[in-house]
Amino acid sequence: MNNVNFLPWVGRNYQQGINEKRIMVLGESHYCAKESDAVPTITQDVVRSVRNREERYNAYFYFERTMLGQPDVSDEEAAKLWDSLLFYNYVQEAMSTPKTSPTGAQFRDAELPFLRVLYKYHPDILIVWGEPLYRSIPQDGVQGDDLVIDEMAYQTWIYTLDKDHQVKVMWINHPSMPGFNWEHWNKAVHNFMKGH
């Protein structure tokens, strides 16, 4: 795909989805200590290592809890989950340190590759990691109904890819944030999927 430097992880059962919904998960960026580490398969390699329990990154661990609604996720449950998802990192340049934030130009440059991935894989639901990233993705669409969980309202978005297909977009707090409440976000994801 043109302009897509870091290819998405596409689980083997992505097309079947979860409850017949194709789900795409959107992270922000990769961190690479060395420029040579920023290879096209880096996203796929990271998710595969999480899926196979070779690596244990907190963000992915808490996201598994969020999706499955349980504190303990077995290796088999994790593999089944990642096999059902598409995961893509929005910014198509690697950050030099974990605390480095992408620039405005890097966010803008990421718009076209992101839209290419959306059009190619036609997800039904897009779950964005973090409100700042949610506010940085292209605004080619319309605002959806607010998602209300525990008396808190969260904005949602809708992309229309063609006359027959819409992508419903929600955001959750980034799973690596201190104090991330996976039970709260499980309710949010569950209700959002149920309503769409």
What is the per-residue pLDDT across 125-152, written as a single tens digit (0 to 9) for each? 999 999 999 999 999 999 999 999 999 9
pLDDT-flagged residues of the chain (< 50): none
User: For the structural domain made of 9-195, what CATH number should be given?
Assistant: 3.40.470.10
CB 114 within 8 A of CB 137: yes
pLDDT of residue 108: 95
Domains of the chain, by residue range, sit at: 9-195
Q: What is the DSSP string of 124-152?
A: SEEEEESHHHHTTS---SEE-PPEEETTE
Instruction: Determine the length of the chain.
Output: 196
In the numeric block, the tokens 């940085």 are attached to 136
pLDDT of residue 2: 77
Task: Provide φ and ψ at 148, rounded to 5°.
Answer: -105, 120
pLDDT of residue 82: 98
pLDDT of residue 196: 61
Both ends of the chain: CA-CA distance in Å? 29
Pairing of strands 125-129, 165-172: parallel
